[in-house]
Structure 1
Amino acid sequence: MENILTIEHLSKSFTLHNINKHIKAINNVSFFVKEGEFVGITGKSGSGKSTVLRCIYRTYLPQKGHIVYNSKKFGPIDLAHAPERTIIELRKNEIGYVSQFLNVMPRTTARELVKHAILEMGREAEFADRETEKMLDHFELDRSLWDSYPTTFSGGEKLRLNIARAMVKRPRLLLLDEPTASLDHASKIKVKVLIEQLMKEGTTMLGIFHDLEFMQNLCNREYRIQDGQFVSS
C-alpha cells in the first residue's frame, strides 16, 4: 500500500497578543498514513493532537513543514501550501472531518444537512434525496429525527449525524477529532461499529481519542504526542 498522507517536519505556533506570549503547539512532527489504514494519535490534553488534524484539514496554516496528500483528482499535493480553492475542492470531494461538535446553521434539519453535502458535490436533487435517506438509515438515525433540528439531538445523535454528513461524500480520507469525548459507553460502542463499517468500505482514517480502550483492536498503528512532538509508542 502506498502512502495517502506523508507529514514532514510540521510545526505550528500561536501568538497570544493580549499577554504577549508565544506558544509552540507542535514542533517538527513527521509521520505517514498508508491507504486503507486507521492510524491513531494519542496524548494528554493540550499536547497538540488536534492541531495536527487541523493543519491537515487546513483549518490552521502551519508555519513549517509539508503535508503531502495523494489526491485522486490532483495527484500528490502539499496541503500546507495548496491554494485555498484546491483545499475547498478536496473538502467537498475527498477529505472529511468529524469532531465531537456539530456546528450547523440554525433552523437546518438533519435531512437538509446531509443533502447539502451531496448537492455541493454537483449532484442532482433527486439523487441527493435518495442518498440522504440511505445514509441516515445506514447510520441508524431515528427516522422521526430526520426533519428535526439537530440542536434538540442527544450527543450520540449529533455525532452520528456528523459522521453521516462526512461519509455521504465517501471521502478517501476521514479525520476524527476526539468524536467520542463525553459520550456514554453505549454511544461509544455505536461509534465503534460505524467506524469498523467505514474501514471495510476502504476509507483511510486518522483519529485522536482520549479513551485508549476505545482504540484497542481498531487502529492499525498508533503515534503518541507529548509537548507538541511525537515520541515512541
Structure 2
Amino acid sequence: MEEILAVEHLSKSFTIHNLGKQIEVLRDINIAVKEGEFIGITGKSGSGKLTVLKCVYRTYAPQEGGIWYNSKEFGLINLMKASDRQVIYLRKHEIGYVSQFLNVMPRTTAWGLIKQAVLEMGHEENYAKREAEKMLKHFELDSGLWDSYPVTFSGGEKLRLNIAMAMVKHPRLLLLDEPTASLDFASKLKVKELIEQLIKEGTTMMGIFHDLEFMANLCNRRYEMSDGKLVYIIPKNLQ
C-alpha cells in the first residue's frame, strides 16, 4: 500500500497575547499513514490531539514541518503550502472532517445539508436525494426532523448529522474528532457500522478518541499524545 499522508517534523505553538506567552503544543510530530489505514490517537484533554487534525485539515497553520498528502487531483501536495483554492477543493472532494460541533448555515434543513454534501461531489440531484435519505435513515434521525433546521436539534442529533454529512461523501481521507462523544450506545453502533463500511471501501482515517472500547478492533495503529509528541502504543498481543 502507498502512503496517502506523511506528517514530517510538525511543530505548532499558540500565542496568548494578553499574557505575552507562547505555548508549544506540538513538537516534531512525525507519522506516515498508508492508504486504507485507520490511525487512532488518544491522550489527555489539552494534550494537542485535536491540533494535529486541524493542522492536517489546514484549519491551523503550523510553524514548522510538512504535511504531504497524495491527492487524486493534485498528486503529492504539501498541505501547509497549498493554495486556498486547492484546500477548498480537497475539503469538498477528498478530505472529510467530523467535528464534535455542528457549524452550518442556520437556515438549511438536515435533508438539504446532506444532499448538498453529495452534490458538491458532482453527483446528480436524484442520486443526492437517495443518498441523503439512506444516511438519515441509517442514523435513525426522526423523519419529522428531516425538514427542520439543525439549530433545534439535541447535541446527539447534531453530532449524528455531522457524521452523516462527512461520511456520505465517502472521502479518501477522513479526520474524526471524538465521533461518539455525545452518542448513546445504539448511535455508536451506527457510527461503527459506517466506519467499517468505509474501511472496506478503502477510506483512510485518523481519529481522536477517549472511548478506547469503541476503538478496539477498528484501528490499525494507536498513538498517544504525550508532551507534545505522538508515542506509538504497542498492542498488548505484541508486548
TM-score bin, normalised by smaller chain: over 0.9
**Structure 1 unmatched ranges of 5 or more:** none
1:102 is matched with which residue? 102
Q: State how far apart, in whole Å, the 2-side matches of 1:46 and 1:142 are.
A: 35
Residue 55 of structure 1 and its aligned partner are, at CA, apart by: 0.3
Amino acid at match of 1:179: P
Q: Percent identity?
A: 72
Is 2:40 the counterpart of 1:44? Answer: no
Amino acid at match of 1:99: S
Q: Report the number of matched residues.
A: 233
1:219 is matched with which residue? 219
Give 3-state SS (helix, strand or coil) of 1:180's partner: coil
2:136 is matched with which residue? 136
With normalisation by structure 1, the TM-score equals 0.93
With normalisation by structure 2, the TM-score equals 0.91
Say which is worse superposed, 102-111 or 169-178, in terms of deviation: 102-111
1:69-109 C-alpha deviation (Å, 9 max, x unpaired): 11111111111111111010000100000011111222221
Q: Is the 8 A contact 2:41 2:208 kept in 1?
A: yes
**Structure 2 unmatched ranges of 5 or more:** 234-239
1:77 is matched with which residue? 77
Say which is worse superposed, 25-34 or 105-114, in terms of deviation: 105-114
1:61 is matched with which residue? 61
2:7 is matched with which residue? 7
Residue 230 of structure 1 and its aligned partner are, at CA, apart by: 1.5
Give 3-state SS (helix, strand or coil) of 1:103's partner: coil
Residue 146 of structure 1 and its aligned partner are, at CA, apart by: 1.1
Q: State how far apart, in whole Å, the 2-side matches of 1:163 and 1:108 are.
A: 17
2:161 is matched with which residue? 161
2:230 is matched with which residue? 230
Q: State how far apart, in whole Å, the 1-side matches of 2:119 and 2:107 are.
A: 18
Q: State how far apart, in whole Å, the 2-side matches of 1:210 and 1:82 are.
A: 32
1:190 is matched with which residue? 190
Give 3-state SS (helix, strand or coil) of 2:4's partner: strand
